[in-house]
Amino acid sequence: MGSRNAVLLHKTGPQVADEIRACIGCNECLLACPALSEPITIDVLNRETLAGPISAPVARYARACFQCGACVAPCPVGLHRDAMMMWLKVRLLRSGMEE
Amino acid sequence: MAPNNWQDSARGEAGYAWLSMHGWHGWFGRLLLTLFVLALGIGVFLWYSRTSNDISPDSIAGYAYAVIGTLFAVMAGIAYGRRRRATKKRAIGQLNASLQWHMCLAVLALVFLCLHSFGNFNPRSGTYALYGMIALAISGFIGRFLDRLMPRLIAGEVSKALTAQGDDRIESISQRLQAIVVHNTAELRGFDSSNTPSSNKSLVPVKSGAALPFADAGQSLQTPWDLAYISLEATPQELSRDGVQYRFVPDKKSELARPGALMPGAQEHISELQEVQQAMQREHFYRYVIRYWRRFHVLLALTTLGLTIWHLVYAAQLLIPVFLHK
């Protein structure tokens, strides 16, 4: 199996932070996402992915994301939105466990 | 800079339920329309079955159901695929709507093609095409279920593989293990014979309270060899066999004989490391399930397409001579 077909595992928090800083906000990942059902702006998504409270639409989107990777190919700067969404999922999961 | 940890999300949305049903905005309208078309199709089927004598797949109603069912199937297959590949006139949420239509149209296609059969499953080609369609629809629903379940499982495994700050837990454990090795190496060097002559530390501890007559200002002098003759107390040179300091070589009584005693704390860290590695293996497996189920669904779609074409060729072989002789 070639590297193109290899399944990529999660990224760490600092790696996700680096990717978010590298995001140019072109919206290509959101346009290519089959899980996103309501309008969300990329800057809100980036901000809430990184830290701070998670709003209801972003939380709904994070829970709906099924990690298909459709967002990765259209990114003009080669970022992994699926890894960022996974970080958001982990934040939601951990915050739920704490409660 | 690492992102702040997850705890600061406490004021916002929290929790990630199993099989969360979020992200189904607009689903209600599509579901209602699908149910309406289904009810219409079944209603016409019931009415036709009672009023007509020709209730077979090659009746007028049978053909109508076949054509409508095939159209729904083609729309289900093509519309979503085209929307995914579209580069113009895109909007956020459109692909999700297309995915929902894909599911609605697939269900409609399946039901209409079942109605087309009128309970007649004699032609193998048509029966196999219908089986393919049923398998395709079921695989689609299982796929949607896996799409909900697997990411939740993956998030659980990733949570185990990351520290609270989001750093790699394997790296963190490795650093702690390295620190233990360094610490223990430093401890072992303390027993190195090459260090002892220049060091004031003796392998035999001298009690500070029991001052020897020739000890002055905390500094112990070498004990004279004939000390035993003037005192019945044990000399500092005498080593008790039961004393910890005697057991440089581990035996059954020694503390060093305990598992992990030579590297205290290492065993716990190694177990933790294995736990993280297993979590990552499970994450890998779940990701492959998502990927290969999707490929399996596409493979089933292609198989069903092939079976449907086979059935259409079979139907054309029956129909074309009839039309030619009319």
What pLDDT, on a 0 to 100 scale, did the predictor assign at position B256?
59
Distance from CA of A67 to the nearest CA of B (A): 7
Across the range B55-81, mean pLDDT stands at: 90
Asked if residue B231 has pLDDT above 90, the reply is: no
Q: How many other C-beta atoms are found inside a 10 Å radius of the C-beta of residue A15?
A: 18
Q: What pLDDT band is residue B288 in, cutting at 50, 70 and 90?
A: very high
Cβ–Cβ gap A34/B159 under 8 Å: no
pLDDT grade, residue B55 (50/70/90)?
confident
Extents of the domains making up chain A: 14-98
The answer to whether the Cβ–Cβ distance between A64 and B4 falls below 8 Å is no
Domain ranges of chain B: 24-120, 124-185+262-326
pLDDT band for position B204 (50/70/90)? Answer: very low
- Which of B19, B22, B90, B98 to mutate against chain A (most A CBs within 10 Å)? B22
Q: Average of pLDDT values for B142-165?
A: 92
Q: How confident is the model at residue B215 (pLDDT cuts 50, 70, 90)?
A: very low
pLDDT in tens, B166-178: 888 888 888 888 8
Q: At what angle do helices B169-189 and B124-161 cross, to 10 degrees?
A: 40
Contacts by residues B127-132 (CB-CB < 8 Å, ≥ 24 positions apart): B128/B307, B128/B310, B128/B311, B129/B304, B129/B307, B129/B308, B129/B310, B129/B311, B131/B307, B132/B300, B132/B303, B132/B304, B132/B307, B132/B308
Question: Tens digits of per-residue pLDDT, A24-77?
Answer: 999 999 999 999 988 899 999 999 998 889 999 999 999 999 999 899 999 999
Query: With an 8 Å Cβ cutoff, is B19 touching chain A?
Result: no
Specify which of A52-56, B201-205, B318-322 reaches the highest per-range mean pLDDT. A52-56
Contacts of A94 in chain B (CB under 8 A): 6-7, 159, 164
Spatial separation of the C-alpha atoms in residues B230 and B193, rounded to whole Å: 31
d(CA A96, CA A90) in angstroms, rounded, equals: 10
Name residues 110-169 of chain B within 8 A of A (Cβ).
147-148, 150-152, 154-156, 158-159, 161-162, 164-168
pTM exceeding 0.95: no
* Per-residue pLDDT tens over the stretch B21-41: 655 656 788 899 999 999 999
Mean pLDDT estimate for chain B = 78
Restricting to A residues 52-71, those with a Cβ less than 8 Å away from any Cβ of B are 52-56, 58-68, 70
B76 or B222, which is more confident? B76
- Compute the distance between CA of residue B142 and CA of residue B148 in angstroms, rounded to an integer: 10
pLDDT band at A1 (very low <50, low <70, confident <90, very high): very low
Residue B57 in tokens = 């797949």
Task: Kindly give, in sequence order, each residue whose CB lies less than 8 Å from that of residue A14, ignoring residues fewer than 6 positions away.
Answer: B1, B2, B3, B166, B167
Distance CA B197, CA A3 (A): 59
Average pLDDT over residues B48-74: 89
B114-140 pLDDT, tens digit per residue, is: 999 888 888 888 899 999 999 999 999
d(CA B306, CA B83): 23
